Amino acid sequence: MLNCKVNGKEIKVKQGTLVIDAIKQADYDVAHYCYHPGLSVAGVCRLCMVKIGDNPRLQIACNTPVQEGMEISNEDEQVKDAVKWGLDFHLINHPLDCPICDQAGECELQIQYMKFGQYDPEMAEKKVKKRKVVDLGSKIVLDTERCILCSRCVRFTDEVSKTNELGIFNRGDRSEVGTFEDKPLENDYALNTVDICPVGALTSKDFRFRQRVWYLKNQSTICTGCSTGCNVKVYYNEEGLFRVKPEFNEDINGYWMCDQGRDVYKFVNKDFRLLEAQSVTEGQAEPLSAGKAAQLAGEKLKELTKVNGPESVGVVVTGQYTNEEYESLFDYMVNKLKVKNIYHWVNNSDTMDDFDGLLLRGDKNPNTYGLKEIMKKYSIQTNMSDLEGAIKSNTIKTIVVAGPENQAVYPDFNERASLFSQASNLIWFSAGPVSAATSKHTLVIPTKTYAEKSGTYVNYKGTHQSSHKVTTIVRGALSLSDSVTLMSGESILTKPVGPQKAMKTNFFVNKSGEL
Amino acid sequence: MEAFSDDILVFIKKECSRYETRRSAIIPCLYKLQEKRGWISPEQIGQLAVAMDIPPVQINEVMKFYTMFNQQPVGKLHVQVCNNISCTMNGSRELTDHLCKTFNVKSGEVSSDGRVTVSKVECLGSCDTAPMMQINDEYYENLTPESATKIIEKLGK
Amino acid sequence: MAEVKIITEHYDKDEFISLEGYKKFDGYKMLKKAFKMSPQQIIDEVKSSGLRGRGGAGFPTGVKWGFLPDNGEERYLLCNADEGEPGTFKDRKMMERAPHQLIEGMIISAFAVNSHKGYIYIRGEYSYAAKVLEQAIKEAYDAGLLGKNILDSGFDFDLDIYRGAGAYICGEETGMISSLEGLKGQPKLKPPFPAIKGYLGKPTIVNNVETLASVIYILRDGVDGYRKYGTEKSAGTKLFSVSGNINKPGTYEVPLGYPLMDLINNECGGLKPGRKLKAVIPGGSSAPVLTAEECQKANMDYESLAQLGSMLGSGAVIIIDDSNCMVDMLNVIMHFYHHESCGQCTPCREGTGWLHKVVSSISSGTGRLQDIDLVDEVASRMMGRTICALSDAAAMPARAFIQKFRNEFEFYVREGRSKVKGVTDAQL
């Protein structure tokens, strides 16, 4: 450990710590645009100026490692002047289109001007004009005029995604960020460039113009898009979820996440959800509340196991639930109902072990590991392929499905659903509608999605991560645990289902490549 | 789009192994491409990227950084008149204006017959012989508007 | 005192260009001498000679060589022949008139710093000089002066030439390294300095053409012989590129410390008849301008010019007589830096453009009185804030012009026309 002083405050930092991180560690603000801890040091924005000891030449904090006894100041008048002017240099050619800029509210130019600037601008000359609204494919729009040339995005495609799409062309104040011949920026991690862009130069087509960021709240949770379990922040309001951004976790995802994971929020919103339970008997559908449906399911299962024996019940479970949910389901099935025919529904066995070398994994379930652990705990050794025969031979007459909340990553969804429908009784827990569930007696019960419940997911390497409830989207949906409680005949405190409000649809979501 | 000729491909291959790193061959290869037509098109950048196995964006960055690479067609005679300090003091602005008028072009544009481009450039390191111009690769020094016109007309024949 | 031709002694002879001719005048003799010395002895000699980098910064060459780490890594010796500082043309002359002098200087220096690979990075516009050098390198290889086991010394050195393609910034040593590595010629963050991590991350020495050639004469004349010319802190002779409003512009080799007015009046034949000296830029366009009065006291060495608030720079002396408008001249200079800023660091990228726009609006008659102070204010905030010195190089002349010729700027703003030329820049 090294001792140093930041603005007079004594702190200890690890060997190799950069001055910029030491300043943050000491709880002081430091102006900067180009520095990003997940990228190489560029040292070009020249804002993180500090005075070190009595060296009259200011240094940049991002390229200076702390040395023992170092006295660092970023509150010195000389530093303040440098930062103020540094901001002005950034702003003299920046267009004043904040009212129509999607970054407004979380723009580092605005934030840092309020913190470190607040001067009267003296620039009276014409601003440099550059290209606006450059279409970079299905995900991203570029405004080169807003760009402050911090080079974060260029370093990202160079160092992290290693796809090398972005570059900075020309010299001096004619410099312009872009791709070669405006080729689309379509790599699997492209939207990270939008996150790290400190200004409104790179914006996400999915999020653009949908919400002003000050109308959004955010909450940390776990991405359920694959078995990596990236730590993310979900941005939402009462209308639903709007976007997902990565949150730093050194052991899991570093600073990044993949673009597929950013789409995971979409099935959470009401448009894609099952809003209430449905009981279908011989083609006759009848809506009912989830709680009522769960109680009904419990009574049915009790009856059926008594009449046909526990062997006549098959339970199909996907790797999309939390450990806590598995625990209550297995306890109920195995201990209470003595049902041991529990099957693991693997959605894409061929690509299950794929890995792109960075974050993206072929196992599109957040908790395959957790499911396998619980099956081991209950000594369940079954094979999904045996289920088909058992249904066809009528050995299994009743199927209970803990289905996927993200149906899009289950390519065999409809095929499986029609197989399960061959059993005479089908009880399906699902976050979204299951139109292919057409058994003689079908009960579909709405479940909560990852964003609506707290619980534990175990990622591909066995790391247990707690995920926190973000918000409630479908008020009538139940977690699997709550359903099991109700099925057992016990009661939970449920809120009455209120009227469902339709969510605004995003014009841009499904119009890839169009502006 | 015209494919690279064999001599260009041989050149690229040779330059790629000439230096410690393949990227160092970008500038020499861009010079080679410019030799034939006087400028480099985006298609050529794309082709060069494939031939060198270097992302096109990196070649594009290099090409657009250096002023000697022309991103647009230039005249057969690319007349570059130095307009820096010593040349300005010795009449380079008047010289440039005279040449533009004589060959009926605006600075930086190609004449309608495609023969001449007159452009203003920064210091060419020939300040003791100001004013001066560079036509393609050659320096012409101690000019007057009349002598410069004569040189261009002679070369244009 | 007068011109002292040490480096340039044989520049008037065409035969000096060829290997055969060069050898006739003791060419490569000092290389043989060097091989009889130890590398450390050569470094010590260069250190004691007081030789300072001739490219612009004036850093002691021997000290620079001493920064190389002793870690067994391969080292590179790069010759900076990207002569781009407006007003400078002495390196071009050297390469065109004496290519073997540079090659010999490089082999000796490479031997001293134990480098086996060197490049001459020459600006793209110097295609003639590049051809001359290429031919000379070929001759040297054929004669066993380059390549393996040079002159049976057991020392290997390969030398190649690399052409830039039009970017002033590549004259900055780390910009040059970036360019040689096939990147945009943008300067790199320092530390680490090139001597520690340079070309491809390997220890690298970058020296100017004139610096490398000077090494030959340090060996020839010895430390005392070399120090016979120049001052205590600015030793030896130096090549000056003189241009502007002067009767005999050209390259002149004089001892450092030579009075500026002597250079103007004796070597360069004085000003045009009827003209009065108004100002001199003593070290290339980046050097703060000197008034005629200051010129009387100016000696051409690092210290004397620093004392006057200017610098020796690359030794480009630009003579300005009273027919010139200083507003107009500053506009030309600001155009240059605006054009050449690499765009990396914000204060330089935006500042050079801002300065150029403001000065340009003054020189088109639409400036405001507060613009004059604004130029100084903006320029002062561009100094010492960036990766390389281009930002300072743009700011320094801006500040000096405003400070020393303020009345011309004020006149221009008030009257909307040049005090000297009577009309605006656009009307000329």
Same domain, C89 and C194: yes
Flag whether A495 is in a domain.
Answer: no
Type of residue at A195? D
Which chains contact A through at least 3 pairs of Cβ atoms less than 8 Å apart?
B, C
Express as a percent the part of chain A with pLDDT over 70: 96
- Tell which residue, B1, B10, B110, B107, has the closest CA to residue B51: B10
Using CA atoms, how far apart are residues C254 and C2, in angstroms rounded to an integer? 7
Using CA atoms, how far apart are residues C82 and C247, in angstroms rounded to an integer? 27
Mean pLDDT of C195-214: 98
What is the domain-level CATH number for residue C251? 3.10.20.600
- pLDDT tens track for C361-413: 999 999 999 999 999 999 999 999 999 999 999 999 999 999 999 999 999 99
Same domain, C341 and C387: yes
Using CA atoms, how far apart are residues C177 and A51, in angstroms rounded to an integer? 29
Q: Which residues pair with A232 in a beta bridge?
A: A221, A246
User: Greater confidence, B157 or A484?
Assistant: A484
Type of residue at A61? A
Same domain, C168 and C68: yes
Same domain, A258 and A239: yes
Contact C68, C75 (CB under 8 A): yes
Task: Burial-class residue B6 by CB neighbours within 10 Å (0-12, 13-18, 19+).
Answer: exposed
Chain B residues close to A164, C-beta within 8 Å:
55, 57-58
Question: Inter-chain contact B42–A167, Cβ cutoff 8 Å?
Answer: no
List of residues 6+ apart from B41 with CB closer than 8 A: none
Interchain contact A48–C (C-beta under 8 A): no
Matching residue, tokens 């037509």: B37
Same domain, C135 and C195: yes
Using CA atoms, how far apart are residues C311 and C302, in angstroms rounded to an integer? 6
Mean pLDDT of B44-68: 97
What is the domain-level CATH number for residue A63? 3.10.20.740
Flag whether C222 is in a domain.
Answer: yes
Flag whether C6 is in a domain.
Answer: no
| A309 phi-psi bin (left φ>0, alpha ψ -120 to 50, beta other) | left
Mean pLDDT of C178-183: 98
pLDDT at A508: 45
Q: Taking the model in full, what pTM does it have?
A: 0.94
Using CA atoms, how far apart are residues C147 and C155, in angstroms rounded to an integer? 9
List of residues 6+ apart from C368 with CB closer than 8 A: A124, C413
Domain extent at residue C122: 14-227
Using CA atoms, how far apart are residues A180 and A169, in angstroms rounded to an integer? 9
Q: Which of B42, B46, B61 sits opposite A167 (nearest CB)?
A: B61
Same domain, C333 and C247: no
Mean pLDDT of C331-341: 98
Chain C residues close to B61, C-beta within 8 Å:
183-184
Q: Which of C342, C351, C384 sits opposite A89 (nearest CB)?
A: C351
* Three-state secondary structure call for residue C204: strand
Same domain, A251 and A197: yes
| A93 phi-psi bin (left φ>0, alpha ψ -120 to 50, beta other) | alpha
Contact A355, A325 (CB under 8 A): no
pLDDT at A7: 97
Same domain, A369 and A442: yes
Domain extent at residue A368: 272-487
- pLDDT tens track for C137-147: 999 999 999 99
Question: Inter-chain contact A169–B60, Cβ cutoff 8 Å?
Answer: yes
Q: DSSP states of C81-123 as a string?
A: E---STT--HHHHHHHH-HHHHHHHHHHHHHHHT-SEEEEEE-
* Whether residue C1 has pLDDT greater than 70: no
Same domain, C154 and C268: no
Question: Inter-chain contact C347–A46, Cβ cutoff 8 Å?
Answer: yes
Residue C54 binned pLDDT confidence (cut-offs 50, 70, 90): very high
Q: CA torsion C402→C404→C409→C414, rounded to 10°?
A: 120
Longest Cα–Cα distance of chain A, Å, equals 89
Chain C residues close to B127, C-beta within 8 Å:
86-89, 241, 243-244, 249, 316, 318
Q: Which of A46, A125, A168 sits opposite C386 (nearest CB)?
A: A46
Same domain, C78 and C183: yes
What is the domain-level CATH number for residue A443? 3.40.50.740
Interchain contact C353–A (C-beta under 8 A): yes
What is the domain-level CATH number for residue C75? 3.40.50.11540
Q: Which of C80, C92, C125 is most worth mutating to test chain B (most B CB atoms within 10 A of its CB)?
A: C125
Sheet holding C76-81, edge to edge: C158-163, C117-122, C76-81, C204-208
Q: Domain count for chain C, please give it.
A: 3
Contact C162, C120 (CB under 8 A): yes
Flag whether C409 is in a domain.
Answer: yes
- Tell which residue, A413, A415, A402, has the closest CA to residue A367: A402
Using CA atoms, how far apart are residues C67 and C204, in angstroms rounded to an integer? 10
Positive/negative CA dihedral, A164, A169, A172, A177: negative
pLDDT at C428: 60
Chain C residues close to A44, C-beta within 8 Å:
344-346, 387
Quick one: fold of B6-65? Arc Repressor Mutant, subunit A (1.10.10)
- pLDDT tens track for C250-265: 999 999 999 999 999 9
List of residues 6+ apart from A77 with CB closer than 8 A: none
- Tell which residue, A413, A410, A384, has the closest CA to residue A396: A384
Interchain contact B72–A (C-beta under 8 A): no
Q: Is the peptide bond before A499 cis (omega within 30 degrees of 0)?
A: no
* CATH of region B77-156, choose from 3.40.30.10, 3.40.50.10490, 3.40.1160.10, 3.20.20.120: 3.40.30.10
Same domain, A336 and A432: yes
Type of residue at A100? I
Same domain, C223 and C280: no
Interchain contact C341–A (C-beta under 8 A): yes
Same domain, A69 and A203: no
Type of residue at A164? N
pLDDT at A494: 52
Using CA atoms, how far apart are residues C39 and C28, in angstroms rounded to an integer? 17
Same domain, C259 and C198: no
Alpha-carbon gap: A43 to the closest alpha carbon of chain B (Å): 19
Flag whether C271 is in a domain.
Answer: yes
Spans of all domains in chain B: 6-65, 77-156
Mean pLDDT of C156-178: 98
What are A414's two structure tokens?
Answer: 């409809």
Alpha-carbon gap: B60 to the closest alpha carbon of chain A (Å): 7
Task: Indicate if ipTM > 0.90.
Answer: yes
Mean pLDDT, chain C, rounded, equals 96
Task: Burial-class residue A451 by CB neighbours within 10 Å (0-12, 13-18, 19+).
Answer: buried
Alpha-carbon gap: B97 to the closest alpha carbon of chain C (Å): 10
Interchain contact C344–A (C-beta under 8 A): yes
- Tell which residue, A261, A260, A296, A258, has the closest CA to residue A277: A296
Q: Is the peptide bond before C191 cis (omega within 30 degrees of 0)?
A: yes
Chain B residues close to A167, C-beta within 8 Å:
57-58, 60-61
Residue C422 binned pLDDT confidence (cut-offs 50, 70, 90): confident
Mean pLDDT of C209-227: 97
Spans in chain A with pLDDT lower than 70: 493-515
Using CA atoms, how far apart are residues C357 and C115, in angstroms rounded to an integer? 46
Q: Domain count for chain A, please give it.
A: 3
pLDDT at C426: 65
pLDDT at A511: 42
- Tell which residue, C338, C109, B22, has the closest CA to residue A171: C338
Flag whether A494 is in a domain.
Answer: no
pLDDT at A509: 43
Using CA atoms, how far apart are residues C2 and A101, in angstroms rounded to an integer? 67
Phi and psi of A198, rounded to 5°? -75, -10
Phi and psi of A71, rounded to 5°? -110, 110
Same domain, C365 and C381: yes
* Three-state secondary structure call for residue C107: helix
Flag whether A455 is in a domain.
Answer: yes
Total H helices, total E strands in chain A: 12, 22
Task: Burial-class residue A426 by CB neighbours within 10 Å (0-12, 13-18, 19+).
Answer: buried
Using CA atoms, how far apart are residues B117 and B119, in angstroms rounded to an integer? 6
Mean pLDDT of C100-126: 98
CA C164 to each of CA A85, B25, B67, C83, C137: distance values in angstroms, whole numbers, following the listed order: 34, 12, 10, 11, 18
* Nearest residue in chain A measured CA to CA from B71: A170
- Tell which residue, C422, C380, C420, has the closest CA to residue C400: C380
Same domain, C73 and C180: yes
pLDDT at A387: 94
